[in-house]
A and B are shown apart, each in its own frame.
Chain A
Amino acid sequence: MTVAVKKLNNLLDSRKLSGEILNSCPSRREMTNATSKSGDGYSICAGQCRCCNSIGGRCNCSSC
């Protein structure tokens, strides 16, 4: 592990969150490529999962 990755891990650990990890949809490649109408360049995260309709790269469907 590089020093930077270790520092980043420590930084994230300092948040003391739940310890529960959000499911990731294995079919993330099925996310729609929702390019923004505003052309802002920051819209790539806004895809919608075709299997469970979750938004933003997250998936909560039972198959995941």
Chain B
Amino acid sequence: MKFDLNGMWLTLNRFCNFRCPWCYAESTNYNKNNDMPLQLAKDIIKLGANLGIKEVMLIGGEPTYYPNLFEVLDCISEHGMMSTLVTNGYRFSEPHFLKKIEESKLDSIGFSLKGGTAEQYAESTKVKDSYGKTKRAIKNLSTLEKIRVGYSVVLSTENLENLEEIAGLVASDPTNWLLLSFCCPTISNEAEVITEHMPTQLEVIQTIVDKLPALKRILNDQFIIEQAFPSCLWPKDILDDLIQSNKIRFGCHVQGRSGLIFDEKGKLIVCNSLPNFKIGQFGKDFTTVDEFNRLWDSEDINNLYKKFREYPVKKCVDCADNKNCSGGCPLHWLTYDAKKVLA
């Protein structure tokens, strides 16, 4: 089978200055000693380029604290790939760091927002001045010309009610876009399903529906919803409108089998919500393209990925909307009973 891998996530470190309670990185203890060795990062980037991957997303922890960030950006550029830095944005409040980024080979920034108010920011991140620094960073980034900047927020129980305030933060520059993504369960090493900060499917949909007119107005229509639920849970008229205006996305790289995630040790994981389930390791299970392809096309891995593409219930098979619906995030069904939700 031919697989089109078009993106790769590299976990450069585990340290972060924020302590957001819903973050998948929480279980890694934010250890400062858990940086990806520079040579390992370069070797994986080279493998990715040889696999035809076009875009590398740098994640953490907080990758702006990775000491070899600029060497990694050079390496990505040398291999003709695009780079995106997924960050909490805090360091862009520092003029010195901003200047270095501006002069680097970075292509785009994915700025992850944590809330909409000073109180909410302080409470979620456990950093007193995080809101002020975030506002300053957004202002600073509006001056960048070569680097594309996008804003995102993971909708959690902490920030769901503050969507307008979050939109207001982004809208301080009218060219900014906001991506709304949904909180997913995280699975611990003991296979415990953690959903502590995850609003229910219906809470998320109802909140978005209620706040949609305000979001459209504040953001001047510049937002995208990366939704993780079955289409049929949305009110049809709202969903049709969002599809028509290209404001909603379905599916993920796991279901499309189009992305690779490497942790800081070079272990290959399926999804960031499954940080403890490695399906292979660079340098041990594969180093070359041929070795990787043998693993990627092995019976075990093929069967595993099939399970991520399982229809939640039988009626989905014949549903007219299934081309727009991925059946929702495959991990949501660890929390919800598909037969009840989609009865």
Bound complex: CA A44 to CA B307 (Å): 20
The bracket for how many chain B residues form the interface is 35 or more
Q: Of B110, B148, B324, B334, which one neighbours A42 at CB under 8 angstroms?
A: B110
Whether A33 lies near B6 (C-beta < 8 A) is yes
Whether B311 lies near A24 (C-beta < 8 A) is no
Whether A44 lies near B255 (C-beta < 8 A) is no
Count contacts between A and B, CB distance < 8 Å. Answer: 192
Contact of B316 with A by CB under 8 A: yes
Whether A56 lies near B322 (C-beta < 8 A) is no
Q: Of A5, A18, A58, which one neighbours B312 at CB under 8 angstroms?
A: A18
Q: Of A1, A10, A29, A38, which one neighbours B177 at CB under 8 angstroms?
A: A38
Of the stretches B13-21, B160-168, B286-294, B325-333, the one at the interface is: B325-333
Whether A38 lies near B179 (C-beta < 8 A) is yes
Closest chain A residue, CB of each to CB of B307 = A12
Known: A38-B179, A39-B149, A45-B253. 7 other contacts (CB 8 A): A9-B304, A12-B310, A26-B2, A46-B249, A55-B324, A57-B251, A58-B255
Can you identify 26 A-B contacts, CB atoms within 8 angstroms? A2-B300, A4-B279, A8-B279, A11-B191, A12-B304, A15-B310, A15-B338, A18-B316, A18-B317, A22-B311, A26-B1, A29-B4, A31-B258, A39-B84, A39-B149, A40-B86, A41-B108, A43-B249, A44-B6, A47-B258, A54-B323, A55-B323, A55-B324, A56-B326, A58-B326, A60-B322
